[in-house]
Structure 1
């Protein structure tokens, strides 16, 4: 029973990861968090942002041996020799996986052709094994990062285009006819606009922070760091092999000179040229900036529409207030006529009741005409003072 529980605990944290090697081969592996930490050198807090149960904003983290990418639905760990993709069977991730496999296969073929080509520098000894040709292609980590950014930007651009195509007609229809249905539709589109703008803004800020810090970009040169580490191991092996000649003064002088050159090259190797990564990120930074500009333009259009709707509603409210003033004024003078009727309805005896029918009609029509005249006079007075239109 205890063995079964221990097996459950060990397998509880494992998830299926799609592993794509630098040769283009892909396969599934059930890997736990502890195994990934040993395999990539990542701390647990970096793996937490890839947890599909938790919600974390988009981020790109460059570490010593791996790059952690969390862009929209893409959750990937990139190393110098392989790529680990989480939730690869998700329909949203499937286009990214197919594109990544195609790019990695093309990258492997290109690198193989360069290795067998005539433009490749053949090293003379093991200490120069890290040298490559001038026409080297982007390393695996940059190829994978490019695919991640391309798929994320394409997804956001598609959502933006869909939202723009649906939002502008809805806003125009709302300006012509204010109804509960149109208001609800515009409200939903504004909620989508705010959420999409936040996602695009987060990726844009993440790229801007990386571009502003050369050390963050230098951390992403995983292949250069791996080759630099291999060169150090080769140099250390050479030192161990030549340990027996350490008492030779000529050898010691030459070895000091070599060690000085090696240390100077190590110092320069610790800070690789970040120009190629900067150019790569600048392209997608400009693309995500264009998407954000479209959303900002639509946000301004929504705000202008809201202002226009508010002005229209205020105008309707003013018209209703004027209607209320006119009705109140008419009610006032109608009440005056009712007072006259009430006075004549009293149980009293006056000469007017003894008169003929003509005098009664004169009194009635005189009261009606007087009330109408006073009403017209009150309306003209309100228009003259600017109280009524």
Structure 2
């Protein structure tokens, strides 16, 4: 009895100690969990800011003055200063702040004294005496395409005579827009050339042999062509919609508005000719890519027809084997009837074996010829034959 009381007291003390220990360690665990959650939230916020520039009061950009001189690259400009100085709205910078490398939807926003353009990988603010290029995420500023675009833009903005080239009569903002369109269409043409070369190679290989890997490559390339076709189509639609808006085209004459000579609603021949020229280039790319996609679809249909034909040939071969087995089964059935150990009075004569063998072979041959003719009749079935059978 004494020992049982001692054991009971010891168990009670141990349970109280363990309960106190759990109570003491629970806040530590809760604190560590909350700390991990805060760190994770902070990392996600930093990553979102790095991707979309959200929560940042400045934008990285490169400026070019009225003489085409390049300013400080990757210059940090305050967002509020950019909006107030150039007469923009806060929502106008949404396209720039959330831009990505593979942004498919282009846009041109015309404001009072500026043009905000987002075209493929180019994000720019064009004014009558200044061009601001925004550094989009995922684009290397030291790439060859970017250097070529900057050099061409500087050359067009300077608009100097030399090397057999005369001065361009277009105003400053139109020369900047033309340089942006040239760079975008050049990139599209180069990308189209790569897609066409790869697709033609796959289609050429499929002419010699059809394998699973080649079909998979064709499927992947067809998806890439569809994405590229959509991107070019959106660019063409953007230019087409812009050409239908006469008031917007007149508002794009920033130099004329700056010197106090705004254009009339129908007086926009220069910008209209410029946009129509590059719309024709974009439409040519759309037609070329669409023709290649049509070739891919035609090839896929031909492949499906070939596969269906091979499948039909395999089914036909199986039917032929089935017909042969059926004919052989008839002869075996006759032989089995007379091969049983029952008296049938044929074994007493000398012609029993020859008679049964002849009957079995003739029945097998007749059954095979009849089944083969029925199969051939099904193979030669046409639409005219079907209509005749239906109407008759």
Under a length normalisation based on structure 2, what TM-score does the superposition of the two structures give?
0.72
Corresponding position: 1:364 with 2:374: no
- How far apart, CA to CA, are the structure 1 residues paired with 2:189 and 2:290? 13
CA deviation after TM superposition for structure 1 residue 12, in Å: 2.4
With 371-380 and 47-56 compared, the bigger mean Cα shift is at 47-56
Q: Which residue of structure 2 lines up, in the alignment, with residue 84 of structure 1?
A: 132
1:374 aligned to 330, 345, 367, which one? Answer: 367
The CA deviation string for residues 16-56 of structure 1, in whole angstroms up to 9 with x for no partner, is: 21112222132132123322211222222221122345646
Q: 1:108 aligns with which of 132, 135, 158?
A: 158
Moved more, 207-216 or 24-33: 24-33
Partner of 1:157: 189
Q: 1:192 to 1:43 in 2, by over 3 A?
A: same
Q: Which residue of 2 aligns with 1:323?
A: 317
Q: 1:244 maps to which residue?
A: none
Show the counterpart of 1:342. Answer: 336
**Residues 320 and 273 (structure 1 numbering): CA distance in 2 closer, same or farther, change over 3 Å?**
same
Aligned-partner Cα distance in 2 for 1:279–1:172: 40
* Superposed displacement of residue 371, structure 1: 0.7
Q: Which runs of 4+ in 1 moved over 6 A?
A: 8-11
Indicate if the aligned counterparts of 1:224 and 1:272 stay in contact, CA closer than 8 A.
no
The answer to whether the Cα contact below 8 Å between 1:11 and 1:32 also exists between their aligned partners in 2 is no
**Equivalent residue, structure 2, for 1:273:** 267
Alpha-carbon distance change, 196 to 14 in structure 1, aligned in 2, over 3 angstroms = same
| Distance apart, 1:140 and its partner CA | 2.3
Matched, 1:29 2:29: no
TM-score between both structures, scaled by the size of structure 1:
0.72
**Cα RMSD over matched residues?**
3.2
2: distance between equivalents of 1:272 and 1:76? Answer: 27
Given the alignment of the two structures, is residue 20 of structure 1 paired with residue 64 of structure 2, yes or no? Answer: yes
TM-superposed deviation, 1:362: 4.8
Give yes or no for contact 1:96–1:148 (8 Å, CA) kept in 2. Answer: no
CA contact (8 A) 2:127 2:173 kept: yes
Counterpart selection for 1:287 from 281, 284, 290: 281
Q: Please name the residue that 1:248 is paired with.
A: none
RCO comparison, higher one (Cα < 8 Å, 6+)? 1
Stretches of structure 2 that go unaligned for 5 or more consecutive residues are 1-48, 383-392
Alignment of 1:18-57 (within 5 A): 18-23=62-67, 24-27=69-72, 28-53=74-99, 55=103, 57=105
Residues 218 and 96 of structure 1: is their aligned pair in 2 closer, same or farther, counting only changes over 3 Å?
A: farther
Shift of 1:365: 5.3
Task: Please report how far the alpha carbon of residue 101 of structure 1 lies from its aligned counterpart in structure 2 after TM superposition.
Answer: 4.3
Contact 1:334–1:371 (8 Å) recurs in 2: yes
Change in 2 beyond 3 A, CA 1:346/1:13: farther
Give the match's secondary structure for 1:61. strand
**Counterpart selection for 2:179 from 136, 142, 147:** 147
Superposed, 1:237-316 pairs within 5 Å as 269=263, 271=265, 273-316=267-310
1:176 is displaced (CA, Å) by: 3.4
5+ residue gaps, structure 1, are 1-7, 114-134, 229-265
- In the TM superposition, 1:97-136 aligns within 5 A as 97-105=147-155, 107-108=157-158, 110=160
Residue correspondences, number: 322
Whole-Å separation in 1 of the counterparts to 2:112 and 2:343: 113
1:300 and 1:76 map into 2 onto residues whose CA distance is: 36
> In the superposition, relative to structure 1, how do residues 136 and 346 fare at CA in structure 2: closer, same or farther (>3 Å)?
closer
Distance 1:343 1:183, change over 3 A: same
Q: CA deviation at 1:354?
A: 5.2
Deviations 1:198-231 (A, max 9, x none): 1111111111111121111112112222222xxx
Matched, 1:207 2:239: yes
How far does residue 384 in structure 1 lie from its aligned partner after superposition? 4.5
Q: What CA distance in whole angstroms lies between the structure 1 residues aligned with 2:79 and 2:335?
A: 94
Q: In the alignment, what sits opposite 2:218?
A: 186
